[in-house]
Amino acid sequence: MKPFSTAFLQVMFVCANTLMIAKLFYPGVIVCSFCISLLWTFNVRSALGNWKERLLYCLGATLGSVTGLYLSSEIVKFYVL
């Protein structure tokens, strides 16, 4: 049941994050990308063994998501308008 639950939650957050990104809803992107990353750290316990490393990884991924969304939305505005 654990592999099913982990996969279910990861894909659920990826799908939700896709919609949040499409709608430029930054709070949703922050929550979803953090949750995706946190769930992923449980799959790679050997690489990210302690909570400090896990949380730093999640924060980096969250910031990367928000930055990528912002930059890409600015590029689209520049080239579309």
pLDDT digits (tens, 9 = 90+) for 57-66: 888 888 988 9
pLDDT band (50, 70, 90) for residue 81: low
| Tokens linked to 59 | 């924060």
Q: Which whole-number Å values give the CA distances from 72 to 36, 63, 64, 65, in the listed order? A: 20, 14, 12, 10
| Tokens linked to 46 | 């050997």
pLDDT digits (tens, 9 = 90+) for 8-42: 888 889 999 999 999 999 999 999 999 998 888 87
The continuous run of DSSP H or E covering 40 comes out as: helix 26-43
This prediction has a pTM of: 0.73
Orientation of helix 2-22 relative to helix 51-80, angle to 10°: 30
